[in-house]
Amino acid sequence: MERKRVLITGAAGFLGSHLCDRFIKEDYHVIAMDNLITGDLQNIEHLFSLENFEFCHHDVSKYVYVPGKLDYILHFASPASPIDYLKIPIQTLKVGSLGTHNLLGLAKNKNARMIIASTSEVYGDPSVNPQPEEYWGNVNPVGPRGVYDEAKRFQEAMTMAYHTFHGLETRIVRIFNTYGPRMRLNDGRVLPAFIGQALRGEDLTVFGDGSQTRSFCYVDDLVEGIYRLLLSDYSQPVNIGNPDEITIGQFAEEIIKLTGTTQKVIYKELPTDDPKQRRPDITKARAILDWEPKVNRADGLKITYEYFKNLPAEALVNKEHKDFTTYNR
Ligand SMILES: NC(=O)c1ccc[n+]([C@@H]2O[C@H](COP(=O)([O-])OP(=O)(O)OC[C@H]3O[C@@H](n4cnc5c(N)ncnc54)[C@H](O)[C@@H]3O)[C@@H](O)[C@H]2O)c1
């Protein structure tokens, strides 16, 4: 039987590369697209020799051409960490808007089903906790995070318009903080930031008083949720994340224990518009997808720490965030 064909954008990134692995495992033909602006070919180089895998170096904010049939498109291209989107704000807005439009056009042309990677950031700094899909959010469009949050909100609106106006099969996953191997050690997200500091023998930096909360989902659980959502018949947004909420202060303590570092926690000023609380309401994912996270934080952190510990020494050098404020994202 002919293999189903899937286009994955952002394929050389953290989540995109894990999605490539999953679709290869399910015996799809995977077309991986990326312009490598924040991604790394090392994340997918183990797939290059496979006959059902191809890589296309392309910026999806420009016209996207893919020959042959396509069954599914997974649009995961976008800078995703605050350091990245503060450095490249216009590209971030473009990939969420123009990139999404290009891919929706491609999906329509190929009669493919498309899923977009939205984010808990559409809820901004939320006034309800946990956040259900019905919550409309509290986003500052002109704040530093607006370039990411509003691109993602526009992306959802555009995707829903293609669904209602053109009858396109679309899916929207709102991803909450996810972690695991292949994150960039110095991308400014809180987990690699803490582990990187511990490995370098630096103090762990908490922004604010550490009382703000996050909920971390292990990447394998997220990928399973995305896979189920794509194959479901549900076109409204679905939260996928782990509701096990923790304060950033407690999380720093967990990392200190995990890594055995003798360093301490230091506190710096809370950045603008940093969300105070973040916890997914996953009632919908449970009911519609029969999905819930399986990997507890202690186990997921151990695997992730092993990955970071075994990176070559030069990966530890932090060239990325000396000029940028790090967020506890
Ligand atoms: N990791 C998380 O916790 C999280 C949470 C919410 C949403 N998301 C979303 O998931 C997606 C992937 O995030 P990630 O954590 O893997 O980030 P990442 O930076 O590791 O991966 C993003 C990939 O997209 C590529 N890319 C960016 N702009 C592009 C363009 N114009 N054309 C082609 N490729 C481009 C980058 O080179 C990179 O390989 C993003 O859309 C992000 O917004 C991630």
Average the pLDDT over 146-150 and give the result.
97
Q: How many helices (H) and strands (E) does the chain have?
A: 10, 13
Whether residue 200 lies inside any domain: the answer is yes
Confidence check: pLDDT of 274 > 90: no
Q: DSSP secondary-structure letter at 236? A: S
Q: Is 266 in the pocket of ligand 1 (CB under 6 A)?
A: no
State pLDDT tens for residues 90-128: 999 999 999 999 999 999 999 999 999 999 999 999 999
- Any idea which residues carry the catalytic annotation? 148
Q: What's the 81 CA to ligand 1 centre distance in angstroms? A: 8
Whether residue 329 lies inside any domain: the answer is no
Q: Whose CA is nearest to atom 34 of ligand 1?
A: 34
Whether residue 15 lies inside any domain: the answer is yes
Of the chain, the percentage scoring pLDDT greater than 70 comes to 96
Q: What is the CATH number of the domain that holds 142?
A: 3.40.50.720
Whether residue 216 lies inside any domain: the answer is yes
Under the banding of pLDDT at 50, 70 and 90, the label for residue 320 is low
What does the pLDDT read at residue 273? 76
Whether residue 326 lies inside any domain: the answer is no
Residue range(s) defining the domain that contains residue 35? 5-321
Q: Is 39 in the pocket of ligand 1 (CB under 6 A)?
A: yes
Atom of ligand 1 nearest to the CA of 79: 19
Whether residue 328 lies inside any domain: the answer is no
Q: Whose CA is nearest to atom 28 of ligand 1?
A: 78
Q: 83, 148, 73, 81: which is closest to 118 by C-alpha?
A: 148
Q: Is 159 in the pocket of ligand 1 (CB under 6 A)?
A: no
State pLDDT tens for residues 210-227: 999 999 999 999 999 999
Confidence check: pLDDT of 325 > 60: no
What does the pLDDT read at residue 328? 53
For residue 183, give every residue at least 6 positions away whose Cβ sits within 8 Å of its Cβ, in sequence order, or none.
14, 189, 191, 192, 304
Q: What's the 8 CA to ligand 1 centre distance in angstroms? A: 11
Total count of domains within the chain? 1
What does the pLDDT read at residue 326? 47
What are the residue ranges of helices labelled H in the chain?
Answer: 14-25, 82-87, 89-94, 100-110, 146-166, 190-200, 219-231, 248-259, 283-289, 297-309
Q: Is 107 in the pocket of ligand 1 (CB under 6 A)?
A: no
d(CA 91, CA 100): 12
